[in-house]
Amino acid sequence: MSVRFRHAAYVTMVAIASSAFAGCTTDSPRRPAQRPPGYAQPYPGQHPNQGYPGQYPRGQYPGAQPYPGQPYPGQPPAQQRPPAPPPVASTPPTPPPKPALPPVYDDAINTFNMPALETRIRGLYAEMVAALPSDRQARVKGINFGFTSNPGEVNGYAGCRGSYRHITVTHGMMKVIAHAAQAQANDEIFKTQKFDEAARFVARNARKGVAVPPPPAGFYNPAHQVDGRRVARQRELFDEGVGLTLGHELAHHYLKHVVCSTTITPADLINVVRRNVGAFSQVAEGSADSYGIENLMDTGRRRPQGAHRLAENGGVMKWTFFAKMRGQNPNGIHLDLDRTHPSSSTRVRVLSLTAQSYRAGRRLPTPW
Ligand SMILES: [Zn+2]
C-alpha cells in the first residue's frame, strides 16, 4: 500500500467515522447565514432550509489530462455495484488529437442557454443516481433536484426542511463552469492562454445580485468558439465540473451529513454543535468529494464504448478557476463559498488520490 493510498484510506476512514456524528436538524448552521431572497423559487411554498455550500476551494491546478477511458465492462443493472476497474496507470496518458469535427454554432455552453444546460444536467444527474449502489440509491430516492437563477449566487446545495429534501444548483455556478470549460478547451485545442483571462473577466464582472455575464464579443476567436473539437471538449469538461458537484451533494445526502426530520432530539442538538466544528466540516467535505468522484467515474464506466468517460479533470479545472478568481478579486462572489471547506490543496489531493485509486482498482468502502 503506497503512502498516497494510505492517506486516501485514512481520509476515508476518518470521514466515515465522523459521519456518524451528523445529526438530525431542521436548521443547519452550515447554510450561508444570509441567503438572498428568492432562493427557493423553484419550489413554491417550500423552503430548503439547510444545506452545504458547494465546492469552490482555492486550489492549484496540477495539469489535468483527459481521462482516456477504459474498456467498457458491460452496463451493470442499476441495483448492482459496478465492477472495479482493472489496474491501470494512475495518471491517464494524453489522448491523440481529436479529429476535425463540423462547427457547432449554437452550443449551449457558448450561448449560456440555461434551459438547454438544465436539461443536460438533469440527464447527468439521472445517470449518476443510476450508477449508485442500490443502498445509496435508496437513500437519495425522492430528492427534489432543481435549479435556481438567483442572480449572483454561485453555489450548489444539499439540504432539507422537514421531510423536504433537495439538491439545488445555481445558474451562477453553471455559468462559471461554462466559462472555465470554454477557456480550458480553447487552450487545449488551440494552445491559447484564455483560462487566466476568463477567470479575471468573471472575477471582475460577477457580483451579488448580478448575473454572471457571458464572454464578451471578441473574447474568443469566433472560429475557435464554434470549432467542433473545442465544443466537444468543453462539453466533457462542463459535465465533469458540474458532475462532481452533483456527486458531492448526493453524497451529503446518502452519507447523512444532511438528515431530514421534523423532530429534534437532545442528541441532535449535540450533533448540530459537532457539525460546526471545523474538523468535522472538513472531513465531511472531503468525504463527499471522494464519494462524489467515485460516483462520477462509475457513471462514466457505465456509458457505451466510445462515449466520454468521466473523470476528475473538470473538477480540478473548476477549483483552479475559482482559485484564480479569488486571486483577482478577494471580495468577489466566490469568497463565501469556501469558508466551511478544506483548503484547495487538500481537496484537490483527496480528489486526485481517489481517482487514482479508482483507476488502480481500489474502491471506497461502503460507508455504513
Ligand atoms: Zn459540501
Predicted confidence (pLDDT) per residue in 126-153, tens digit: 999 999 999 999 999 999 999 999 887 8
pLDDT given at position 256 = 86
Q: How many angstroms separate the CA atoms of 36 and 173, rounded?
A: 15
**252 CA distance to ligand 1 middle (Å):** 7
As a whole number, mean pLDDT of residues 310-337 equals 80
Mean pLDDT estimate for the chain: 74
Ligand 1 centroid to 358 CA: how many Å?
A: 21
pTM of the model: 0.73
Distance 30 CA to ligand 1 centre (A): 10
Indicate whether 264 pLDDT > 80. Answer: no
Give the model confidence (pLDDT) of 25-56 as tens digits: 222 333 333 333 333 232 222 333 333 333 33
CA of 190 to the centre of ligand 1 (A): 34
Report whether 269 contacts 261 (CB < 8 A). Answer: no
- Please say whether the beta carbons of 198 and 126 come within 8 A: no
Ligand 1 centroid, distance to 248 Cα (angstroms): 6
Tally Cβ neighbours within 10 Å of residue 173. Answer: 27
Q: Ligand 1 centroid to 337 CA: how many Å?
A: 10
Where do we find the cell 483527459?
A: 66
d(CA 20, CA 339): 23
Cell of 269: 442538538
Paired sense of beta strands 156-161 and 164-170, if any: antiparallel
CA torsion through residues 354, 357, 361, 362, sign: negative
Least confident of 59-68, 164-173, 323-332, 352-361: 59-68
More confident residue, 9 or 148: 148
- Cα-to-centroid distance, 251 and ligand 1 (Å): 9
